[in-house]
A and B are shown apart, each in its own frame.
Chain A
Amino acid sequence: MSVTTASRLRVPASVYALRNIVLFLMKSPTSLFGLAVLALLILVAIFAPLIATHDPYAQDLANTLQAPGNGHMFGTDELGRDIFSRLVWGSRITLTIIFLVSIVVGPIGLAVGAASGYLGGRFDTVMMRITDIFLSFPSLILSLAFVAALGPSLNNAIIAIALTSWPPIARLARAEAMTFRNADYIAAARLQGASPTRIIVKSIVPMCLPSVLIRLTLNMATVILTAAGLGFLGLGAQPPLPEWGAMIATGRRYMLDSWWLVTFPGVAILCVSLAFNLLGDGLRDALDPKQMNRR
């Protein structure tokens, strides 16, 4: 029974589901705030050259540490660069980090999880022990260690974050895969002579996809905070890149006199990570079957 409903309805159902989820999210003010901030972030990143009032790298040593106002909405930093423009360009870095981490973590987690869940046995045991090892660290500490090993740079920070954030995804995909593994339609595929690879790719992975996508969204707040933390410690994006965490790190020296150097990048990080958290929280509610039925 689950076979027919699942396969017949897959495409239209997912479209409907997406529409329902968005509608549900729009109803809650907090999720709406999350959606709005993210939309704003994406728009700002796309139109950064148009929105920025100055060149983010242009130094103006005559105008260093200017308070907000006077043509610099958020003031200038220690090299006279316009903070607003740097924030605007920095949104591209933030989005790049999120995007790259997600496209690395999603497939790895999905592949490992779906394979262990479907195959079970020794492969599963080994894989789960490996995720256990990764999960026995706070993600920032492990990322720190990886970046230290690879050398500090934005790309290495992305690699390090990706390396440390696939295990929870794999765990989730595995749990999902295990619920489908004994379904009749999988047995049918097996009887037709489909290879395990084919079954995993064609039948297991698509079923795990929705929950993995949600988990990725939920993860993004953590990714942003970790990336900013690495930038702050000088292990992520290197100057003069306008990465928000790194901007806070350089602004720290001047923070007692020039509060705007650290305040605005921090507010930006806070807003984006809060937006992802609120959205994730809303998604969790939206996808909770008990909540869906109550409407």
Chain B
Amino acid sequence: MSTRRLSMQGAIGHIGTILVTLLGLLVLTFIIGRMMPADPVRAMVGEDATRETYEQVFRSLGLDRPLWEQFFYYLGDVLTGNFGTSIRTGQPVIQDILHVMPATIELATFAILIGAGIGVPMGVIAAVNKDRWLDHVVRVLSLFGHSMPIFWTGMIALIVLYAKLDLVGGSGRMDQFYIGLVPETTGFLLIDSLLAGEMDVFWSAVNHLILPAALLGYSSSAYITRMTRSFMLDQLGQEYITTARVKGLSNRQTVWRHAFGNIRVQLVTIVALAYGSLLEGAVLIETVFAWPGFGQYLTSNLIIGDMNAVMTCVLIVGVIFIALNLLSDVLYRLFDPRTR
């Protein structure tokens, strides 16, 4: 009973912290938005508007109010789901973002599957062979993935694998002549093409997805490998591993059934966090591969100084990060019997 009450208090404290962080996030995006050199009024009224119109719009946007008052307006807008209109597209920003998000989620999900698929086994292998040559090879390979400028690797891969060897699709989500063939139901091209029964489009999409996803995945596998290795080393040093070996379990069974079984919860946490930081790589890789996703939307608006769009993008990334943190925390509590 008392422990349950304690964990309830912990949960409430946790939620409090998250709310404070969210509020801080809003302050930060608000400040960034106000620091923008682009003049939002000028952008709305055009270059040759009269002074009166300018001032009228200036007032209607609330820009004559004190800064803190403006912040509360912003807060109110955000809480009611009003993120403003994009100057570039003339659409509500949130609608724009919802439209581009599936492309990025598709890319990031594939990437994390590849990243975890490489990183976790590599980390286990490195830990089991600690300080032997296999460990060193894994370490250098993963540091390499961590060190490469992903936008450059993307280009080199395009030159070699697409232009020279023609092994994979080029930039974009599918081959040019398939564009518009599949109705957009979910926004996830792989799912949409399957729903429409267009297998050609599906394979074209896979062909285009595989290279950027593999690169993103490889770069995120560095972190996953390192953490897996250190978690495994922790477990392999524990006494229950000796118990398992005394029982007659083989090395492989001991490593995978016992040690690995016990780091699964921690791994979920790590993979969730790695998923969040994929967004960072996505911004760069989407530019290289002309991938019509969130990253490209963010960078194209940055360059033209579309304040509403940029603020909202940054806000969304922050929220996704916090949500992933929370999710990994919840998963931890759910799956580790000791925290129940």
Chain A residues engaging chain B, CB cutoff 8 angstroms: 30, 129-130, 132-134, 136-142, 144-151, 221, 225, 228-229, 232-235, 245, 248, 252, 255-256, 259, 262-263, 265-266, 269-270, 273-274, 276-278, 281
| Per-position binary interface string of chain B over residues 148-164, scored 1 when its CB falls under 8 Å from any chain A CB and 0 otherwise | 11011101101100010
Chain A residue numbers with a CB within 8 Å of B163 are 256
Chain A residue numbers with a CB within 8 Å of B29 are 145
Cβ of B283 < 8 Å from any Cβ of A? Answer: yes
In the complex, which of the residues A139, A234, A245, A278 contacts B149, with contact meaning CB atoms closer than 8 Å? Answer: A245
**In the complex the two chains form, is A255's CB within 8 Å of B155's CB?**
yes
**In the complex the two chains form, is B147's CB within 8 Å of A129's CB?**
no
Cβ of B101 < 8 Å from any Cβ of A? Answer: no
Cβ of B73 < 8 Å from any Cβ of A? Answer: no
Chain B residue numbers with a CB within 8 Å of A273 are 147-149
**In the complex the two chains form, is A30's CB within 8 Å of B317's CB?**
no
Chain B residue numbers with a CB within 8 Å of A150 are 35, 37
**In the complex the two chains form, is A137's CB within 8 Å of B303's CB?**
no
CA–CA, A151 to B17, complex, Å?
A: 33
**In the complex the two chains form, is A229's CB within 8 Å of B136's CB?**
no
Chain B residue numbers with a CB within 8 Å of A270 are 147-149, 152
**In the complex the two chains form, is A30's CB within 8 Å of B298's CB?**
no
CB nearest neighbor in A for B276: A138
**In the complex the two chains form, is A274's CB within 8 Å of B35's CB?**
no
Stretch from B2-10, B60-68, B180-188, B318-326 that touches the partner? B318-326
CB nearest neighbor in B for A34: B143
| Per-position binary interface string of chain B over residues 261-305, scored 1 when its CB falls under 8 Å from any chain A CB and 0 otherwise | 000000000000000110110011001100000000011001101
CB nearest neighbor in B for A134: B28
CB nearest neighbor in B for A273: B147
In the complex, which of the residues A146, A149, A234 contacts B303, with contact meaning CB atoms closer than 8 Å? Answer: A234
CA–CA, A107 to B270, complex, Å?
A: 30
How many chain B residues sit at the interface, stated as a range, is 35 or more
CA–CA, A137 to B151, complex, Å?
A: 20
**In the complex the two chains form, is A148's CB within 8 Å of B310's CB?**
yes
Cβ of B178 < 8 Å from any Cβ of A? Answer: no
CA–CA, A147 to B35, complex, Å?
A: 10
Whether A221 contacts B147 in the complex (CB less than 8 A), given A30-B136, A262-B152, A262-B155, comes out as yes
**In the complex the two chains form, is A140's CB within 8 Å of B151's CB?**
no
CB nearest neighbor in A for B295: A141
**In the complex the two chains form, is A139's CB within 8 Å of B280's CB?**
yes
Q: How far is the CB of A30 from chain B (nearest CB, A)?
A: 6
Q: How far is the CB of B274 from chain A (nearest CB, A)?
A: 11
Chain B residue numbers with a CB within 8 Å of A225 are 147, 149
Whether A30 contacts B321 in the complex (CB less than 8 A), given A245-B149, A255-B155, comes out as no
CA–CA, A133 to B29, complex, Å?
A: 11
**In the complex the two chains form, is A144's CB within 8 Å of B283's CB?**
yes
**In the complex the two chains form, is A141's CB within 8 Å of B314's CB?**
yes
**In the complex the two chains form, is B299's CB within 8 Å of A144's CB?**
yes
**In the complex the two chains form, is A129's CB within 8 Å of B24's CB?**
yes
**In the complex the two chains form, is B36's CB within 8 Å of A229's CB?**
no
Chain B residues engaging chain A, CB cutoff 8 angstroms: 17, 20-21, 24-25, 27-29, 32-33, 35-37, 136, 139-140, 143-144, 146-149, 151-153, 155-156, 158-159, 163, 276-277, 279-280, 283-284, 287-288, 298-299, 302-303, 305, 310-311, 314, 317-318, 321-322, 325
A contact face: mostly helix, strand, loop, or mixed: helix
Chain B residue numbers with a CB within 8 Å of A248 are 149, 151-152, 155
CB nearest neighbor in B for A232: B151
Task: Name 7 extra pairs, CB < 8 A, besides A228-B152, A255-B158.
Answer: A30-B136, A133-B21, A150-B37, A263-B156, A273-B148, A274-B143, A276-B147
**In the complex the two chains form, is A229's CB within 8 Å of B159's CB?**
no
**In the complex the two chains form, is A233's CB within 8 Å of B147's CB?**
no
CA–CA, A235 to B151, complex, Å?
A: 14
Chain A residue numbers with a CB within 8 Å of B140 are 30, 278
Chain B residue numbers with a CB within 8 Å of A233 are 283-284, 287, 299, 302-303
CA–CA, A134 to B28, complex, Å?
A: 9
CB nearest neighbor in B for A266: B152
In the complex, which of the residues A144, A151, A245 contacts B298, with contact meaning CB atoms closer than 8 Å? Answer: A144
**In the complex the two chains form, is B147's CB within 8 Å of A274's CB?**
yes
CA–CA, A129 to B13, complex, Å?
A: 13
**In the complex the two chains form, is A252's CB within 8 Å of B155's CB?**
yes
The listed residue with most B CB atoms (<10 A of its CB), out of A136, A139, A221, A259, is: A136
**In the complex the two chains form, is B303's CB within 8 Å of A133's CB?**
no
Chain A residue numbers with a CB within 8 Å of B151 are 228-229, 232, 245, 248
CA–CA, A138 to B156, complex, Å?
A: 25
Q: How far is the CB of A167 from chain B (nearest CB, A)?
A: 12
**In the complex the two chains form, is B280's CB within 8 Å of A141's CB?**
yes
**In the complex the two chains form, is A277's CB within 8 Å of B143's CB?**
yes
Q: How far is the CB of B74 from chain A (nearest CB, A)?
A: 15
CB nearest neighbor in B for A222: B146
Q: How far is the CB of B130 from chain A (nearest CB, A)?
A: 12
Q: How far is the CB of A286 from chain B (nearest CB, A)?
A: 15
Chain A residue numbers with a CB within 8 Å of B277 are 138
**In the complex the two chains form, is A232's CB within 8 Å of B284's CB?**
yes
In the complex, which of the residues A141, A266, A274, A278 contacts B317, with contact meaning CB atoms closer than 8 Å? Answer: A141
**10 closest residue pairs by CB, A with B:** A266-B152, A138-B280, A133-B24, A149-B35, A274-B147, A273-B147, A148-B302, A140-B280, A136-B321, A145-B314
The listed residue with most A CB atoms (<10 A of its CB), out of B139, B155, B156, B276, is: B155
